[in-house]
Amino acid sequence: MDHKIQIVLGVLAIGIGLVLAFVQVNARKSGKKPQQNSVLPLYRFKWYRLALAIVSLVVGVLIMVDAMGAGSV
């Protein structure tokens, strides 16, 4: 894969991780709505969102490091 595409994907993954880390979910309001997706109840839990954010940030950093190593060759 081209290193420029890897850099874009790394920045995107880091951005998604930051958004997940800072997003606020109103658990009361979402608890009253009928559940149509099986993942949404898990998304209300703060630790689940933070775990997803950490995974996304780590993957983004790894992609960026790989892209920077491939770009210098």
**16-44 pLDDT per residue, tens:** 999 888 876 655 555 555 556 555 565 66
Find out whether 71 and 3 touch, Cβ atoms under 8 Å.
yes
11 closest CA partner among 64, 49, 68: 64
Q: Above pLDDT 90, what percent of the chain?
A: 29
Cα angle value 43/56/34 (rounded, 5°)? 15
Of residues 51 and 46, more confidence is placed in 51
* Signed CA dihedral, 34, 46, 25, 37: sign only: negative
